[in-house]
Amino acid sequence: MESPEIHSAILGWDWGSTAIRVSLLTFQGRERILQDVFNTGSHPGHDERYQKGAFNSALYLDGKGDVYLGERMDDSRIPTSSKELFSSSSAAINSFKAINKNLNRGGIRSSQELIDEGMDAIARAVLQQVQSYCQGGYLHGRVLSEVKILRVGLSYPAFWGHEERTFYEDIIRRVMPDFPDIFTTDTDVDFHVESLASAHNLFWNQRLHNKILRISDKPALLVFLDFGGYTLNGCMFTVVQGKKQVFSYYRVGDTFCTRGGTQLWEQAFGRFAIEYLEKKLKSKLPPRERTQLLENFHLHIKKLRSDKIKEMSLHITDPQNARKSLTVYLSEEEAEGCFLDGMKRPIELAKEKIAEAATLSNRVRVVVSGGSGKSSVVQAHIWEACRKAKINDPFFFHEKAGDKDSWNISKGAAIATATTMTGLEFMERGAAFGIQVGSLKNDDGSAWKRSQSAAAKQAIFWQEEIEVTADATKSYPFTTWCSGQKWLKIVCDPFLKVSERRKKLTASLSYDVLELPPPKRGYWRFTHSIVYKGDALILLLHRDYLWTSKNAHTVMRSEIPFSCPMYFENSSNCFLLDTDVDDEGRGLRLKQHTEPSSASQTPNTGIGNIATDEEATTRLEAYWSSPSFSTTFSGEL
C-alpha cells in the first residue's frame, strides 16, 4: 500500500481583540497554497462582530463558571477580550485579580492559573479545528491526510514587548504536545507585527497590489494602517519592481501604534448609555440587557454610512417589563464625544503618518485594513488626510478582499514566516552598503560649539547622499576626515541596481545597519566587505588611521577588524546584524573595539534621524529602519 504524501505547512495565527483567525500555508512540491482554516462551529451571534469562520476569543472573569465557553454565549455574564490579558499590567487583568481574590478568599488557584486555563482552552479549540483540516481538508480537490506544521507565525500589536510575546508563545507551546499528529518535535515560532503581516499578505496577492499601485523601477511608498478593535497598528514599505520583473519590498522606519478602535468607542458608549438607563430604572442594568444594548450599538455603527457622527437613538427590552422597551438618546455632541473617546488617537496618528509619508516620497499610497477601518466616519478622516497631503486616494482593503478580508493578518503571518532569502540572493538582487556621514549640530541646525551650554539640545544631521562601500561586485574603500563633530554609520540600500553602478546611495531609500564609534581627529579609511557563509552574510569592516594625510601611503594605526554575521529578517525583508544585544529599539552601535551594543538613549549623543523642515522641502527626508525595527507608540496603554 502506497504511503500517504506528507505536506509541510506553516500556520499563521492572528489573535484579535474580538476573534482569532488562522491560515495555513501548505507546500506541495514547489507550489505554495494559502488557505484559511474556518471554525465550523462559530455562533451566528458572534458573526455580527466578526466574519463567519473565526474563533471566539472572549473569556469570562466573573468566577461564576468556566473561564472560556468556546462558541457558546452566556447573556447573563459579561465577557472580556482575552487579548487584554496578555500584559500583567493591563486594566482587565488587574480587575480580574481583584474579583478572583474576593471569590477565592485565599483559595488554592491563583488568578494567573485561571487566565492560563482560559488561554490554553482557546488555543486548544483553535488547534482542534486546524488538526481536523490537516487530516481531512481539501487541497486542489484532494483530501489532506498528512500535514506537518513546521513553523507557526504569530502576529502581535506593535506595542507588545518581551513579556507579552513570551506569554503568547508559552500558550502555543503548552498546547502543541496535545496535537502530535500535526506538529513536529521542533516546530518553531516566529513573531510578526500585525501591520507588517498585513503588508505581506497584500504583496503576496499580485492582483491586489496591482490595483493599489502600478509597480515600476521607481520606488513607491505604501503606508499601511490597520485599525483594530483596540489599537491602530501601522508601518511603511518601499516597493520596487526590478528589471527582471522581480517584485521587491522592504520596511521603512519604525512601526507605529496607538490605543483606540471601535471596541473602545463601544465601551465609551456603553458607559454613557448604562448610566443613562440606570438613572431611569433606578437600579443596575442586568448583563443580558447590557449585552443587547452593546449589540444594537455595534449594528448601528456597522450600518452607518455618514461621514460624520450624528444624534443617536437605540432601544432595548425593559428588564422590568418584557413588553416595553427603553430608549437611549444621545445628542450629536454626546455621540461625537463617545466616538472621540474611542477613535481620536488612532485617527490623529493616521493623519500624522500620512502627512509624514508625503514628505518622504512623491509616490505614496495609503492602505487601510481592520474592522475599525470599515467605519464610514474613520474612512472620511482618511480621505481628508490624503487630499490634504495631495496624494492618491486611499485603498480600503475590505472593499477588494471580499468576505475574507479579516483573515489578511493571519495569512500575512504565514507568508512572512515562509519568506526566505539567502545572502547571495540579497546582494545579487541589487543590495549595496555604504557609510553615511552625520554632523553634530544644534536642534535648529546651527553649528554646535564645545563652549556652549551643556543644556543646549544637539542632534545629528545625516547627509542624504551616501558613499557606496560594498556591493555584489566588490568593495570600495571610503576615506573621510573625522573630528569630534562627525558621526558615521553603515546603511544598506536593498535595491541599488548593480548593472547601473553608482557611487552614491540615497538615505531615504536605505536602512540603518550599525552606528560606528566617533573616530579620533584625522583621516580614516574604512574598507567594508561582504563574505557569504551558507545562506547568511558576514559583514567585515577594517578601519585604518591615516593621521592628517588623506592620501597617506603608510597607515599610522589599524583598528581591530569588526566582523558580524547578518541574518534575513523576514518581517521586514532585510538583512540585519545577528547579535544577542537587546537594543531596546534604539538601534545598534559599535563600541570602541569590536563589540556591538545598544545605541544611547539620549538624543544629545546623536542617536536620531533629525531633519529640519527646510531640508524636507528641498529633498526626500532621510528616513530609515533601525536594526531592531523598534516601535513608535503614541498614547498610553
pLDDT number for residue 623: 25
What is the β-pairing status of strands 631-634 and 247-259? parallel
* Amino acid present at 55: F
Residue 275: Cβ within 10 Å count: 10
CA–chain centroid gap for 471, Å, is 30
Residue 610 carries which DSSP code? B
Residue for cell digits 557563509?
A: 533
Stated as kind and residue range, the H or E segment containing 337 is helix 332-360
Stated as kind and residue range, the H or E segment containing 58 is strand 58-60
Residues 540 and 561: beta-carbon distance below 8 Å: yes
Q: Give dist(CA 566, CA 528) in Å, integer.
A: 14
Helix (H, G, I), strand (E, B) or coil at 397: helix
Residues 220 and 200: beta-carbon distance below 8 Å: no
Give whole-number Cα distances, 10 to 32, 176, 278, 368, 529, in Å.
10, 14, 50, 26, 35
Q: Give dist(CA 185, CA 63) in Å, integer.
A: 36
C-alpha cell at 197: 503581516
Q: Give dist(CA 150, CA 414) in Å, integer.
A: 11
* Amino acid present at 126: V
The number of residues in the chain equals 637
pLDDT number for residue 622: 25
The residues of the chain scoring below 70 in pLDDT are 1-5, 43-51, 89-110, 137-145, 206-210, 213-217, 241-247, 400-405, 444-445, 447-456, 484, 496-502, 550-553, 580-637
Q: Give dist(CA 200, CA 414) in Å, integer.
A: 9
* 515-524: b (≥16 Cβ within 10 Å) or e: bbebbeebbb
SS3 content of the chain, % helix, strand, coil (to 5): 30, 35, 35
pLDDT number for residue 22: 96
Classify residue 258 as left (phi > 0), alpha (psi -120 to 50) or beta.
Answer: beta
Question: Domain 7-193 class?
Answer: alpha beta
- List the beta bridge partners of residue 292: none
pLDDT number for residue 120: 96
Residue for cell digits 479549540?
A: 125
Secondary structure of 17-47 in the HEC alphabet? CCEEEEEEEEEECCEEEEEEECCCCCCCCHH
Q: What is the dihedral of CA 79, 83, 89, 95, to 10 degrees?
A: 0
**Nearest Cα to Cα of residue 322 among 283, 289, 278:** 289
C-alpha cell at 443: 536642534
C-alpha cell at 29: 512540491
pLDDT number for residue 344: 95
In the chain, where are the structural domains located?
7-193, 423-624
* Amino acid present at 630: S
Q: Which residue spans within 354-457 are E strands per DSSP?
A: 364-369, 395-396, 432-442
What is the β-pairing status of strands 55-56 and 31-37? unpaired
pLDDT in tens, 80-115: 889 988 987 665 555 555 455 544 444 445 677 888
DSSP, residue by residue, 276-293: HHHHHHTSPPPHHHHHHH
Please list the alpha-helical segments (H only) found in 391-476: 397-401, 408-418, 423-428
